[in-house]
Structure 1
Amino acid sequence: MDGRESWIEQNRANWDDRAALHEAAGYGIDALVVDRTRISGEVAQDRDRLGDLTGLDVIHLQCHLGTDTVSLARLGARRTVGVDLSPQSVNGARAIAARCGESIEYVESDVYRAREAAEGDFDLVYTSIGVLCWLPDVAGWARVVASLLRPGGRFLIRDDHPMLMAVGEDASDGLRLEQPYFQRDEPMTWDQQGSYIETPEGAPPMTHTRSHQWNHSIGEIITALLEDGLMLDSFEETPYSAWCPWPDLIEREGDRWRLRESPDRIALQYVITAHLPR
C-alpha cells in the first residue's frame, strides 16, 4: 500500500468513527424523518441553483450520512445515488433513507473509484461542505466529476474556502496564515478526538483519531474542472461559514457564522456551478 492509499484508508477509518458519533448526536435526522417535505439547510441554500430536479438522475459524492442526499431526492430526482468511502456512513445513510421513506442507492467507494462503482450517467453531480480537503488530488477528482455527467449535465460544489483552510486554528492573536493554500503532495495530518460537532454524552469513543487533509487553491479547483471539459456557469465567494472555526473571532447568524469584526476580510466559503456541454 503506497502513501496515498494508506492516507485514504486512515481517513476511511476516521470517518467510520465520525459517522457513529454523528448519528449519536442526531445530525438533524429526526427532523427529516418527521417532516417528509423537509430538506437540509445545506441543500436549501442552493435550491435556486439546483432548480427543479424532477425526472433527473442525481449523484451525491462524499454523501456521509445522506441527509443532503435525502434532500436531493425530495427535490424530485428520478434516481438518486449517494457515494461515500465509509461503510459506517453508507450503512447509516441507507437506514436513514428508509426511515425518511426515500428510495436512494448508496455505494461504498472513495471518490476516485466512483465512476466504476456507480452505474449510468447523471444529470447532476452534487457535493457540499467539507469535501475537497479529504482528497489528495483535485485534478483526479475533476476527471471523475466529468466522467459521471452526461452531455448537458450540471455540477454544483459548495465548500470551505481554501483561505479558511490556510488560517491556523489558534486565532487568539488574530488570523494567521499557517497552512498551505496550494495543493501539496504530503497531507496535513491531525490526531485528535472528536469531530466538527459537539460530542454528545454517551457517544462511542473514537478509536481511529488520525486523519489527513489537503488544501486546494481556487485556481487549482476551477482549472481542473475546465481542463476536463466542464464550462463554468457561476462562481461565488462568501464571508459565511457552515461551522465555527475560531470561537473568539466569529459569531453566529442563524445557521451561518461570520467574523465578528470586518467580515469582508476573508472568504470562508465558495460555490461553483458548471456544466458539461452537449
Structure 2
Amino acid sequence: MTDYRDVNRANWDERAPFHAASPGYDLAAFARDPEHLSDVVTFDRPLLGDIRGLRGVHLQCHIGTDTVSLARLGASMTGLDFSPASLAEARRLAELAGAAVDFVESDVYGAPDVLENGAFDLVYTGIGAICWLPDIRRWARVVASLLRPGGRLFIREGHPVLWSLRDDREDGLLALDYPYFEHAEPVVWQDDGTYVETDHTFAHTTTHEWNRGLGEIVTAVLEAGMTLTGLVEHDSVPWEALPGMTKLPGGEWQVTDRPRRLPHTYTLQAVRTAV
C-alpha cells in the first residue's frame, strides 16, 4: 500500500473496535442516558450555540460519538468517514442511542461526490481530523462546496504548535521539532498503540500525517469563499497529547508546567459567503 489513504485507512479500521470498546469513548453512556453528550461536544457547546433544526455534516466522524451528540442537540446529522470499520461502530452507536443519523463512506476529498452540495447549514469537524489530509486548501474548498450560502463551518482542532512538538527528549523539554508549515511529504509514524487504553498490539502501525500553520488554515478558508467569524485558542486538549499532562474536569488535558505558554487547541468558525 503506497497511497496515504490506504495506509491510514488500514490503521483506523484496526483501531475502530478497540476505540468503541474503550472507557474513554464510553459508548454505553449514550444508551444509559438519553441526554449524554461526548466530552468534545460538551466543550464545543458554548461556541457552537443553538443548532436545533440545522442540517449538519460531520466530516471524519470516526465512530460517531460527536455526530450522535450533535444530533442530540437537535441537528439533522450526517457523518462521513473513509473507514468502513469506524462507520460500522458509528451505526451501532446510533442505534444504541436511538439517534437518526446517516453515515456515508468516503474520504473527505470525495465528499462532494457522495453528499448534496450547497445543502448543509453546518459543517463540523473535530479533534485530530485535518492532520490526516495533505492539502488544506482542497479541504476548505470541499467544506465550502457542502455549505449553503450563509452556512457555517465549525472546527476545533489540535493547534499546529502542539502538533509540531517533540516530547521524548532526554532533558524533558518540549521542543519545536516537527514541521509547522504544510509540506507535500507527510510525517510518517510507526506506533503499535493508540490513544485509548487497550492491551491490543496493532498490526497496521504506519500512519501518514501533515501539519499546517494557523495562517495557512485561515487563508485556505478565506480563499474558498468563506468569511471568518471566530478564532479562539485554548489551553487544553481532549486527550493526553503529551506525557505528564494534568487531567481537568470535563475530560480535557493540560500541560502541567505553565500551561498558558502553549496553545493546545483552537476553534475556528466561518460562514460561506452568499453568492
Q: Scaled by the length of structure 1, what TM-score is found?
A: 0.93
CA shift digits 1:51-70 (9 cap, x unpaired): 22222110000000000000
Deviations 1:202-250 (A, max 9, x none): x5x42211111100110110000000111011101112121222223x2
Structure 1 position 36, deviation (Å):
0.8
Q: Distance in 2 between matches of 1:97 and 1:185?
A: 37
1:208 is aligned to: 204
Q: 2:98 aligns with which of 74, 98, 101?
A: 101
- Could you tell me whether the CA contact under 8 Å between 1:170 and 1:246 is conserved in 2? no
In 1, are the aligned partners of 2:20 and 2:26 still within 8 Å (CA)?
no
Which residue matches 1:65? 63
CA deviation after TM superposition for structure 1 residue 169, in Å: 2.9
Letter in 2 for 1:231: T
Q: Partners of 1:69 and 1:269 in 2: how far apart? A: 20
Structure-1 residue corresponding to 2:230: 234
Q: Secondary structure at the match of 1:123?
A: strand
The answer on whether the counterparts of 2:59 and 2:79 sit within 8 Å (CA) in structure 1 is: yes
Change (3 A) 1:221 1:33: same
The secondary structure found in structure 1 opposite 2:175 is coil
Question: Do the aligned residues in 2 keep the contact of 1:84 with 1:107 (CA within 8 Å)?
Answer: yes
**Conservation of the 8 A alpha-carbon contact between 1:7 and 1:212:** yes
Provide the secondary structure at the position in 2 that maps to 1:20: helix
Moved more, 115-124 or 67-76: 115-124
Percent identity reads 46
Secondary structure at the counterpart of residue 69 of structure 1: helix
Please name the residue that 1:19 is paired with. Answer: 16
Q: Is 1:243 the counterpart of 2:232 in the alignment?
A: no
Letter of the structure 1 residue corresponding to residue 88 of structure 2 = N
Distance 1:270 1:207 in 2: 32
Aligned counterpart, 2:49: 51
Root-mean-square deviation over aligned CA pairs = 1.4
Partner of 2:256: 260
> Given the alignment, which residue of 103, 111, 119 partners 2:116?
119
Scaled by the length of structure 2, what TM-score is found? 0.94
- Out of 260-269 and 142-151, give the one that drifted further: 260-269
Per the alignment, residue 174 of structure 2 pairs with 175
User: How many residue pairs get matched?
Assistant: 270
Q: Could you tell me how far 1:48 is from its partner in structure 2?
A: 2.5
> Displacement, 1:99?
0.8
- What is the letter of the counterpart of residue 216 of structure 2? E
Question: What amino acid is aligned across from residue 194 of structure 1 in structure 2?
Answer: G
Tell me the distance in 1 between the aligned counterparts of 2:114 and 2:213.
28
Opposite residue 140 of structure 1, the aligned amino acid is R
